[in-house]
Structure 1
């Protein structure tokens, strides 16, 4: 319990949520939900992250349960404050989470297949995971914590497909969080706009989209934070460990060894030039691996 007996301010509630959910998110990194990346998997992630909140007095939180459907003729939306435009209020709209939205969610999750996603090169994977995230974010299935749930869900999905999504990069500064908010909201509002029921909501969403026009959408933004796990291993791990985790790196290491041998002879009298040439060649290999290549490094 929060212990004061008084209603919490928004700042106090946000801090209590953060204190209770952060350790649960870390636990999910160490012990992910075992599931099929379906609706049950998504619900269980939400339940685990927010399981402590009702017992702490936040009884309006319903971990692992879908939010109620919006009343007929009403839209589900919220305002978004941005540190880069403190005097402005922006809006983002979501699905009504009625029966048809739940069916749409189940359909969207059919694409959450690590085996198929793992066959894609980096650009294809980034486009696919961004499309899935935007669709799930628009559906917004839970009353609380959709962003934390979806980041955990897509991070685990990416990892099982052989990729890393560095969501944390956006949380280091207020500006970084704003960039992510804007990208997500632009992409979500584009899906929401055709389904809005109230004229006031439609005007608020259209105005927000026009004010944010020209910023990057989520698919564009994710190109900065998605990398194949094998590229990270090649760059950061000893060769033996990288090959143990990613045997498909064998061709990259063959090329690296050939490059090292070449420059040790070609630049035998200039150790600095030799080191620089080898470093440059390895970086080019990393760039190819970042693109999703495992062969053709000549």
Structure 2
């Protein structure tokens, strides 16, 4: 059955004139990836400064502007989504989207300007915000990508980066599905609810929400990382000092040194993920040979 949003085959009506679901999905991801890169690089019109629904709508509008006429517009119909194991996620009623987000915006804005939070507290609050924002699900399509972008920007206000490469799409989607209102659908209309389970998404956010300087140390060239975070110079100096010690060991050739330093670098990254890590990375030493 066709509707204002979908054609007779259930495919979203789109600017590209695509009527095949797989083809649309491929085109959509390609175009939104390009727009996402522009957002990350700051090559888009400024977003609203507050972390409310207006900001999320602007993000969605930017990401999906090439695909849908309704990019950035709120859905006006009920929404649900199938998950694994026969589960179905059910999202906020359309007439409550704005009021629910207004309430959540009080929390997001308070988090953005909060001081004195530990890394653990930041991760916990990001988890709670994400669960509620995902439960609301304000758009017909594209909620996941828009919300991930929104959450990355919010996390940066507290010096954290969300490294989504540390979780698979399947892990993320399933954890998101069971964190909110969900259950088994009977006769396509009656939901037998299951209790929300925040455990899996909590664990994932613990893994992906990392101090920005730890991610810079892990991902960026040294010069670029130190330009962003001058305090990382201590970590790099420590890394070189350890490497010089290892090179002097009898029987250690280039491969053995490289393998050893890979483990040392991993240890540095773990320390940088901890509170007040710069002083502690000095404690990482080559240790004894095994």
Q: TM-score, normalised by structure 1?
A: 0.69
CA contact (8 A) 2:111 2:125 kept: no
Which residue of 2 is the match for residue 196 of structure 1? Answer: none
Secondary structure of the 1:230 match is helix
Higher relative contact order (CA 8 A, sep 6+): 1
Structure 1 residues 205 and 184, CA gap change in structure 2 (3 angstroms)? farther
From 196, 200, 208, the equivalent of 1:217 is 200
Task: Give how far 1:151 is off.
Answer: 1.0
Q: Which residue of 1 aligns with 2:75?
A: 67
* 2:124 aligned residue: 127
In the TM superposition, residue 106 of structure 1 has moved relative to its aligned partner by 2.1
Task: Please report how far the alpha carbon of residue 107 of structure 1 lies from its aligned counterpart in structure 2 after TM superposition.
Answer: 1.8
Matched, 1:154 2:141: no
Question: Equivalent residue of 1:180, what SS?
Answer: helix
Asked if 1:110 is matched to 2:109, the reply is yes
Greater per-residue helix proportion: 1
Is 1:227 the counterpart of 2:210? The answer is yes
Q: 1:136–1:179: structure 2 CA closer, same or farther, 3 Å change rule?
A: same
3-state SS of paired residue (2:280): coil
User: Contact between 1:121 and 1:291, CA under 8 Å: does it hold in 2?
Assistant: no
Structure 2 Cα separation of the partners of residues 237 and 167 of structure 1: 16
Partner of residue 36 from structure 1, selected from 49, 57, 60: 49
State the match for 1:186 in structure 2.
178
1:51 to 55, 65, 69: 65
- Determine helix, strand or coil for the equivalent of 2:172: helix
Cα distance, 1:164 vs. partner? Answer: 2.8
Count of residue pairs the alignment pairs up: 259
Question: Per the alignment, do residues 278 and 65 of structure 1 end up closer, same or farther by CA in structure 2, a change over 3 Å counting?
Answer: closer
Q: Counterpart of 2:191? A: 204
- Distance in 1, matches of 2:259 and 2:26, equals 48
Instruction: List runs of 5+ in structure 2 lacking aligned partners.
Output: 1-14, 284-290
Q: What is the alpha-carbon root mean square deviation over aligned residues?
A: 3.7
Q: Give me the whole-angstrom Cα distance separating, in 1, the residues matched to 2:227 and 2:31.
A: 37
Following TM superposition, by how much is the alpha carbon of 1:152 offset from its aligned partner in structure 2, in angstroms?
A: 1.3
Q: Deviations over 1:84-127 (max 9, x none)?
A: x5xx3x211222252531321322322451x648x655443332
**What do residues 29-81 of structure 1 show as CA deviations (whole Å, max 9, x unaligned)?**
22264442422222211111122334xxxx5x3x223334x7xxxxx441314
